[in-house]
Structures are given as C-alpha cells and as structure tokens.
Amino acid sequence: MRLSTKGRFAVTAMIDVALREKLGPVPLSDIAARQQISLSYLEQMFSRLRAEGLVTSTRGPGGGYTLGQRTDAITVADIIGAVEDPPQKSKAEELLPAQDMAQDLWDAMNARVLDFMQSVTLRSLVLEQLAKGVKIEQKPAPNRGVFKKPALQTLRTNAPNSVFALGQSLLARG
C-alpha cells in the first residue's frame, strides 16, 4: 500500500467529518478552511471516498458530507485504499523477470504496515483528538424552508388621507 500526502489529507479530512457530523453534513469548504487543503483536491478525494461508500453527500443549502459507515467500521487502510492509486510497476520491473533481491523484505514490511493500518479505526482517531482537547465549534443552523412572515404593524398617522382632507385640515388651522 502506497503512503502519500493524498492519503494523509484524506485521513485528516475524514477525522474532521467524523468530529462534526453530529452537527449535520460537513461542507468541503469548511474542511478546506480548517485543514488548509485545496477545495478542488478535497473534491477529488471525496468523490473516491463516496464511490467506496465511506461517505455520503447531501446537496443543496446546508449540504455536505457525512460518514457512510460507523466510525468503528472504517479503518485507516480503507481510507487510504480509497484515495490512493494502485502502485504501478516500473519499466525495469516489467522488463526484468528476476525479482529484486530484497523483495521479500519489502513485501513483509508492506504486510505489517497494512496490518497496522487495518487495526486503526476512525473511531480511535476521533477519540484521540477529543482526548487532546479539540474544540468543535457550534455553527448556527442555516435557515431552511419557509420563513416566518414578519408581523405587520398598523401605521397610525394624523396626516390627512386625501387632498380634500388636507384642505379641510388647513382651513381648520386657519
């Protein structure tokens, strides 16, 4: 399994969603601002995460992303596997049938890294962040649906309501 910045950003973004999803769908623009990750980069990652069923999206005002599974069912290996491209063989590996002399070492190391990543759940990462004292800001709920009409107040004036009444009032003052 390949480890890159993309995988690191994906894990960070998923922790962000898991921390805040009880407040409703989490917009990518909010994640981008908090984690300082490009919005277009996040959009690419979340399309892959959605395709793997790790997140679900809600469109429209107040929309965003929520987790597609429970936090204890999502592992770091799931997240990284969803966003990383599969490793490609190099030209030398394709041309040479002989294996690298240390290939068994690299295979064993990859297997251990994969085992470790499969043992770390999103839930454990969220609990770790909460134990560190991460604050989750409460955003005011967006106004949705039909708005309440403002109460109409009747306006009482002493002004005349027509030209004739104006003339009468001016004559009366006289």
Per-residue pLDDT tens for 126-147? 999 999 988 888 765 555 556 6
Residue 87 has pLDDT above 70, yes or no: no
Residue 90 has pLDDT above 70, yes or no: no
- Whole-number pLDDT of residue 61: 84
* pTM for the model: 0.72
- Whole-number pLDDT of residue 92: 59
**Is residue 171 in some structural domain?**
no
- Whole-number pLDDT of residue 99: 65
152 — pLDDT class (breaks 50, 70, 90):
confident
The segment with the largest mean pLDDT, out of 55-64, 122-131, 157-166, is 122-131
Residue 124 has pLDDT above 60, yes or no: yes
* Amino acid occupying residue 171: L
**Is residue 25 in some structural domain?**
yes
Q: Which domain holds residue 129?
A: 1-86+104-136
pLDDT tens sequence across 96-112: 655 677 888 888 999 99
**Is residue 66 in some structural domain?**
yes
Say which CATH number the domain at 64 has.
1.10.10.10
Residue 20 has pLDDT above 90, yes or no: yes
Among the listed residues 68, 69, 65, the one whose alpha carbon sits nearest the alpha carbon of residue 27: 65
**Is residue 10 in some structural domain?**
yes
* Amino acid occupying residue 60: G
Structure tokens of 146? Answer: 């039909």
Q: How many domains does the chain have?
A: 1
**Is residue 127 in some structural domain?**
yes
**Is residue 6 in some structural domain?**
yes
Give strand ranges (E) for 6-154: 55-58, 64-67
**Is residue 164 in some structural domain?**
no
**Is residue 68 in some structural domain?**
yes
Contacts 24+ apart (CB under 8 A), 72-76: 72/121, 72/122, 72/123, 73/121, 74/14, 74/121, 74/122, 74/123, 75/117, 75/118, 75/119, 75/120, 75/121, 75/122, 76/11, 76/117, 76/118, 76/120, 76/121, 76/122, 76/125
- Whole-number pLDDT of residue 166: 76
Residue 38 has pLDDT above 70, yes or no: yes
